[in-house]
Structure 1
Amino acid sequence: MLSFLAKKTTKNYLRGFSTNIISEQVLQRTIQRCSERNIVIPTYDEMFNPQLIPNEIQNDLSNIGLWDINPRNLFRVTWKNEQKEFGGGFGGANYIEIPKELSGVDARIIVLLGKYLPTGSHKVGASFGPIVEKLVRGGFDPTTQKALWPSTGNYCRGGAFNSELLGCQSLAVMPEGMSQERFDWLESIGSEIYRTKSTESNIKEIFTKMHQLEKEMGDSLVVLNQFTEFANPMWHYAVTGRTMEELYNQLATPRSNFKGLFLNQGSGGTLGSSMYLHQKFPNMKTACGEAIQCPTLLENGYGKHRIEGIGDTYVPWILNLKDMDLLVGIDDQDCVDLLRLFNEKPGQEFLLKKGVEKSLVDRLSVFGISSIGNLLGAIKFAKYYEMKKDDFIFTVATDSAALYQSRLKSFNQKLGGYTQENAISHYYGSLMKQNIQYMQELSYYEKKRCHHLKYFTWVEQEGKSVKELDQQWDDDYYWIERMEEYKNLNHLIRSFNQRSKDLKKSYSIPKYSYKENEASFH
């Protein structure tokens, strides 16, 4: 599979999404709405390279906050925002490099930071793809339909944010066990929220509520399911993967090696970046993580865990298992312990004593719980393959500790105030202790075993066809053509924007008032 992709990068295989317009009538109404509200949609190329963004829009952004409900913030759906709460421009990719004092390994671990995207999470990008792909093809009417975002948290928030920017009403379906910050923010922007009696591990309950709402609301509802929408991994293929490649080329020396990518499974979206990177670095490895408390891929298992946002008990329809090389189990207790170590004063003081630079200690709040899971997975990945100082591993910090302050408060109430003894225990017992337990290198047939797990969720329960399930495995073109669809969408977005601009010239548009929202930036 990887050698095939490496050889096919110069051609365009697009047998996936049709770029035909679904409904010209709906498209005209959508263009009218966007024209009235002065909404311009960025292309994937502009999100990867903000220097392509028109000067007029960049000037507008100088007066807009990172989390403001203003359609110009669609152009901040990029890894390259200036680290400012208000009026920021663009620069290089936001990242942290993890030193050996914190990782215990020689490999260079590079972490892209989701904190500096609107809503404080990169899921705003994952939700951009599905809604825009429908808007520019007349597949979703924002004047008559609502967007439903089923999720375990950040995808709901990103979807609601993008819906507001694009003038659409939104509904969020989310487990009641997720952090309070997620619900508070959704309520602040007026999204309809449906809480399922479940936690991170109970995706079935989310789907049940989703189908109930579909039945009740009929054609007035459009479901944008992150676990099935190929425009989710396509955003990461087109933006995250290319950003990682660019950053590696900036940091690498002649002796450097792009060794791998570690990401937790989640919805399968961020792992879309792997399909891009494998074309550029055919010898790299991709590692996929999950909680050992719910070892779905590792052991066909089940259970519950506390690493909010990484999914389990099912295999996402949009996850390409042929592209995975290694499975890594992460202990949720380690993630909880390190959230406290990184954010409590005694923990930070201990890290300084261990030689971690103060400039890095001061920034460790950029790691949320699932982001810490990604860090631990990258460490285990490096240890498994005995990586050296010239070897690079990339991962992402999906969100930051700003979204888990209620969790930190709860831990202190239940466990007592954080002490130096806790810091010592967590540094050695939850960070430096990471080893190669709960890991499996995947052969061809082990990848196929994981792929077949999709059957039970998607064919038996959700109505997908066995034919397409088999096609995902057998057809070498299936995945790459769906990811390369972003190039066609670039053309559709440009056409959409031009039609909106032309329409605007024909009448006078009143000034539209946008809501603002205080950011959880710090």
Structure 2
Amino acid sequence: MKIYSCISELVGKTPLLSLHHFIKKYKLNVNMVAKLECFNPAGSVKDRIANAMIEDAEAKGILKPGAVIIEPTSGNTGIGLACLAVSRGYKVMLTMPETMSVERRNLLKAYGAQLVLTDGNQGMKGAIAKAKELSASIPNSFIPSQFTNPENPAAHAMTTGPEIWEDTDGTVDIFVAGVGTGGTISGVGAYLKSKNPAVKVIAVEPATSPVLSKGVAGVHKIQGIGANFVPDTLNTCIYDEIITVENEDAFATGKELAQIEGLLVGISSGAAVWAAKEMAKRPQNAGKTMVVLLPDTGERYLSTPMFSE
């Protein structure tokens, strides 16, 4: 029998899917493959780092029985933490910008997490400050700190990167991913380049908040990427190029994936695939294998302009 004993055992080993309908529509001469992170137990790539940060803190004796896990999140890390922490008996309190979707809020509450909303204009900086304030006043509390915790990129170097390499039989030429904490692109990029230094790593960020490409922070609607600062967990030497994406292009591409590929994915997935399409149009990339990471499911964005307009 194949029966798992804990939900954390279901994290990772997500599938790759060829976007052949998308490729055909745009007459792209590449092999564009999507890494579907919505197949993680709580529905996103962030389940990987939530699991890694909890296990690391337990192993070090930092996270003790009955502890309260407090974390600033744009949604997905909080959802992953809430899902995985409840099965271990921890309470979860999350700080999140008020601009995040109502579905994300409701998912967090469904897992029993306490949600504290912060000023959307302050972005993730406001959520981080609030988490620190709460932790200072709550005994036996622990902040995993996804924006500074080295277990974040390490989780991707240990799992996501090897999965991509093995499932493509080492043929991946280009890796495309959005940048939020930077853990995904840093960990995966480092692993892939260790196997083949010629692999190109492409970072994706919002055009209205081009922190990485222009050093300018701004308001944007691509939930999950564009933290409005450069996190400690981002290795800025790992990516070869940065592509900026407009809100409307992310929305349109995300909706398009649902309607031509049957893939209901989130806004940041739309942004990543739009960026991958731009890379695929370049003559020098003809015939190459491109893996684009799709962080989560679209069900948590049905109330957003991507699907509601």
Offset at 1:318? 1.1
Three-state SS of the structure 2 residue aligned to 1:105 is coil
Name the structure 2 match of 1:159.
81
Higher helix share: 1
| Equivalent in 178, 182, 207 of residue 264 of structure 1 | 178
What is the rounded CA distance, in whole Å, between the counterparts of 1:114 and 1:384 in structure 2? 27
What is the rounded CA distance, in whole Å, between the counterparts of 2:79 and 2:198 in structure 1? 36
Name the structure 2 match of 1:134.
57
Offset at 1:409? 8.7
Name the structure 2 match of 1:373.
271
Name the structure 2 match of 1:75.
9
AA partner of residue 175 (structure 2): L
Name the structure 2 match of 1:236.
156
| Equivalent in 176, 196, 203 of residue 124 of structure 2 | 203
Three-state SS of the structure 2 residue aligned to 1:202 is helix
Three-state SS of the structure 1 residue aligned to 2:155 is helix
Name the structure 2 match of 1:395.
292
Change (3 A) 1:409 1:297: closer
Q: TM-score, normalised by structure 1?
A: 0.56
Change (3 A) 1:321 1:339: closer
Offset at 1:101? 1.8
Name the structure 1 match of 2:100.
178
Name the structure 2 match of 1:309.
224
- Structure 1 residue 278 and structure 2 residue 193: aligned? yes
What is the rounded CA distance, in whole Å, between the counterparts of 2:236 and 2:207 in structure 1? 19
AA partner of residue 209 (structure 2): C
CA contact (8 A) 1:263 1:270 kept: yes
AA partner of residue 10 (structure 2): R
Q: TM-score, normalised by structure 2?
A: 0.93
Name the structure 2 match of 1:287.
202
What is the rounded CA distance, in whole Å, between the counterparts of 2:35 and 2:246 in structure 1? 22
AA partner of residue 131 (structure 1): I
Offset at 1:287? 1.1
Q: Post-superposition, which runs of at least 4 consecutive aligned residues in structure 1 deviate over 6 A?
A: none
1:403-418 equivalence runs, <5 A: 403-407=300-304, 411-412=308-309
CA contact (8 A) 1:288 1:324 kept: yes
Three-state SS of the structure 2 residue aligned to 1:322 is coil
- Structure 1 residue 118 and structure 2 residue 41: aligned? yes
CA contact (8 A) 1:118 1:124 kept: yes
Offset at 1:340? 3.6
What is the rounded CA distance, in whole Å, between the counterparts of 2:60 and 2:127 in structure 1? 28
| Equivalent in 136, 143, 146 of residue 223 of structure 1 | 143
Change (3 A) 1:371 1:239: same
Offset at 1:232? 1.0
1:477-488 equivalence runs, <5 A: none
AA partner of residue 73 (structure 2): S
Offset at 1:264? 1.1
Instruction: String of CA shifts for 1:293-330, please: whole Å, max 9, x gaps.
Output: 11111111121111110123211101111212111111
Name the structure 2 match of 1:364.
263
Aligned-residue CA RMSD in angstroms?
A: 1.9
Offset at 1:339? 3.3
Change (3 A) 1:259 1:342: closer
What is the rounded CA distance, in whole Å, between the counterparts of 2:45 and 2:28 in structure 1? 27
What is the rounded CA distance, in whole Å, between the counterparts of 1:173 and 1:385 in structure 2? 45
What is the rounded CA distance, in whole Å, between the counterparts of 2:29 and 2:69 in structure 1? 46
Name the structure 2 match of 1:98.
19
| Equivalent in 168, 178, 182 of residue 248 of structure 1 | 168
Higher strand share: 2
Number of equivalences: 306
Offset at 1:210? 1.4
What is the rounded CA distance, in whole Å, between the counterparts of 2:272 and 2:13 in structure 1? 17
What is the rounded CA distance, in whole Å, between the counterparts of 2:56 and 2:279 in structure 1? 35
Offset at 1:342? 4.2
1:388-467 equivalence runs, <5 A: 388-389=286-287, 391-407=288-304, 411-412=308-309
CA contact (8 A) 1:261 1:285 kept: yes
Greater radius of gyration (CA) = 1
CA contact (8 A) 1:262 1:381 kept: no
Structure 1: which 5+ runs fail to align? Answer: 1-54, 62-70, 81-93, 349-360, 413-522
Offset at 1:152? 0.8
- Structure 1 residue 320 and structure 2 residue 241: aligned? no
CA contact (8 A) 2:16 2:167 kept: no
What is the rounded CA distance, in whole Å, between the counterparts of 1:138 and 1:248 in structure 2? 38
Name the structure 2 match of 1:386.
284
CA contact (8 A) 1:258 1:281 kept: no
What is the rounded CA distance, in whole Å, between the counterparts of 2:173 and 2:256 in structure 1? 29
CA contact (8 A) 1:241 1:273 kept: yes
Three-state SS of the structure 2 residue aligned to 1:323 is coil
CA contact (8 A) 1:79 1:112 kept: no
Instruction: String of CA shifts for 1:363-415, please: whole Å, max 9, x gaps.
Output: 222x21111111112222333563112x1111211112111112259733xxx
What is the rounded CA distance, in whole Å, between the counterparts of 1:156 and 1:319 in structure 2? 19
Three-state SS of the structure 2 residue aligned to 1:111 is strand
Change (3 A) 1:363 1:286: same
What is the rounded CA distance, in whole Å, between the counterparts of 2:26 and 2:194 in structure 1? 28
Instruction: String of CA shifts for 1:155-195, please: whole Å, max 9, x gaps.
Output: 11001111112111111111111111111111112111111
Name the structure 2 match of 1:329.
244
What is the rounded CA distance, in whole Å, between the counterparts of 2:36 and 2:307 in structure 1? 25
